[in-house]
Amino acid sequence: MSADTASAAPAAGQTVEAADDDVLRLVEVILTAEVYNTHPTLDLNDLPPHAREVFGVAGASEAKRPVAVSEAMVRKVLGIADAAARLKKNPFVSYEEFGQRLRVTALPEAARWFARRGGARLVRDNPVLAWYYERTEPIEGISYADSLMRNPKYEETKAYLDRRVSALLAEDERMRSALELCIVSAPEEIRKRIDDLVLTPEQHEAIEKLRTALANLAYLRSHDIAEIGKFLFVGPPGTGKTSLALAMSNVLGMPIVEVRLSMITSQYLGETSKNIDRVFEFAHRLAPAILFIDEFDFVAKSRVSDDHGAMKRAVNALLKNIDQVSLIRSSVVLIAATNHPRLLDEAAWRRFDEVVEFALPDRPMRLDILGKLTTGLDTMADLGRLADETEGFTGADLRMIVKEGVLSALMESRTEILQSDIEKGVNMVLKRNVIKDRSWV
């Protein structure tokens, strides 16, 4: 390829055509590599996820310079074959036969070519390039700060989590049995976002307290204020307990370890207590992390009402492990959820510094939920009327109503959702609730 660095500016009156999309994607990662290699102030969190994969640093603890763009990795990650051939006529990119690597030969000229040929839209979500253009040739509406805010932090990616989990398993084979008892997800894998939810003021306050604590860890540690970060979510099914727990993974930038106590209860005496110990130890060793325990009442029942010795030992093991959890000391946030608060052992209640209620949504909340659920949909339904008609419905019920309304319209080859479609969803939920409450004995 030519390394000609002559000005790529178009002649007066000349129209510059946008480059092929695959060519732009190729030039983007090649430019990213060049800028990253020559500016050591940039780090892994500045690299967009696809660039980390192309550079082969997605599973590393750091991106050691220089990073390179090989034809093989471009094919594997971006799905673009014959990268060298596609860029043959580009005067600012060279191809090294040895190692089959692509690189920029003239950064300023290549950057100008890229911006003029339609690359600005890719710069918007690439902090490395946003940083470079902001300092050389600013693009209207694009800033490094905004791009960095949207970019998934490396510590929040699945690749980083997989690396940490693999290291734990290599250090201690016992952690494998703990991993089999739970579901571990990186923040980037969680589809629930806090903006998708309709929360009560109390729920918002609980999240803000956590954010404040994380921003002042040193101060809290110095004053030995450690009883922070243990939440008990209480409310009927379908009111958003699990959704908020998952969304907090994104809010805090921590992986979440999900476990249902019914799944770790063993028929073998003593095994349940060991399972509880394993799960808590795994969360501690993975920290910072969120440990989310669903069906908390399954084990944390009153020890007075249950005379089974093994179950009493399991409750004691659970309480002991809760005592050892602290956001301030161990970087673990504990969230337990229950639909049956009356079943809980009194000692379990005392161990949570925050008890957050998830009540059935009132009319304003139902209206807000319906508004979020129908965003982007073409609907003629009267949401205010629907909010009036659905007193006693949960958020999950409302989601089901909208889903059924969409399906009803699609079955008639429509994308416009009518009031009649929504009413079908309401009737279906009402029928489900009747069946649920029916006694078959």
pLDDT at 4 over 50: no
- Does the domain formed by 363-437 have CATH 3.40.190.10? no
DSSP for 29-52, written as a single string: HHHHHHHHHH-TT--GGGS-HHHH
The pLDDT, as a whole number, for residue 436 is: 74
Question: pTM for this structure?
Answer: 0.80
Query: In the chain, pLDDT over 90 holds for what percent of residues?
Result: 67
Beta-bridge partners for 70: 101
Q: Is the peptide bond before 66 cis (omega within 30 degrees of 0)?
A: yes
| CB contact set of 296 (below 8 Å; sequence gap of 6+) | 232, 261, 336, 337, 338, 344, 348
Rounded to an integer, the average pLDDT of 87-115 is 90
The pLDDT-based confidence of 124 (bands split at 50, 70, 90) is very high
**Tokens read off for 253:** 């930038």
CA distance 310 to 275: 13
Q: What are phi and psi of 95, to 5 degrees?
A: -125, 125
- Architecture of the 156-357 domain: 3-Layer(aba) Sandwich (3.40)
CA distance 275 to 281: 10
The pLDDT, as a whole number, for residue 282 is: 95
CA distance 101 to 33: 11
The SS3 assignment for 82 reads: coil
pLDDT at 304 over 60: no
**Taking the domains of the chain in order of start, what are their residue ranges?**
21-151, 156-357, 363-437
* Tens digit of each residue's pLDDT (9 = 90 or more) over 317-332: 899 999 999 999 999 9
Query: In the chain, pLDDT over 70 holds for what percent of residues?
Result: 91
**Tokens read off for 429:** 């939920």
Rounded to an integer, the average pLDDT of 224-253 is 93
pLDDT at 439 over 80: no
Rounded to an integer, the average pLDDT of 410-435 is 91
DSSP for 350-372, written as a single string: HT-SEEEE-PPP-HHHHHHHHHH
* Tens digit of each residue's pLDDT (9 = 90 or more) over 155-199: 898 888 998 999 999 998 889 989 999 999 999 899 888 999 999
The pLDDT-based confidence of 8 (bands split at 50, 70, 90) is very low
| CB contact set of 105 (below 8 Å; sequence gap of 6+) | 3, 5, 92, 93, 94
CA distance 128 to 122: 11
CA distance 259 to 417: 38
pLDDT at 5 over 50: no
CA distance 35 to 67: 10
Q: Is the peptide bond before 288 cis (omega within 30 degrees of 0)?
A: yes
The pLDDT, as a whole number, for residue 272 is: 84
CA distance 189 to 31: 28
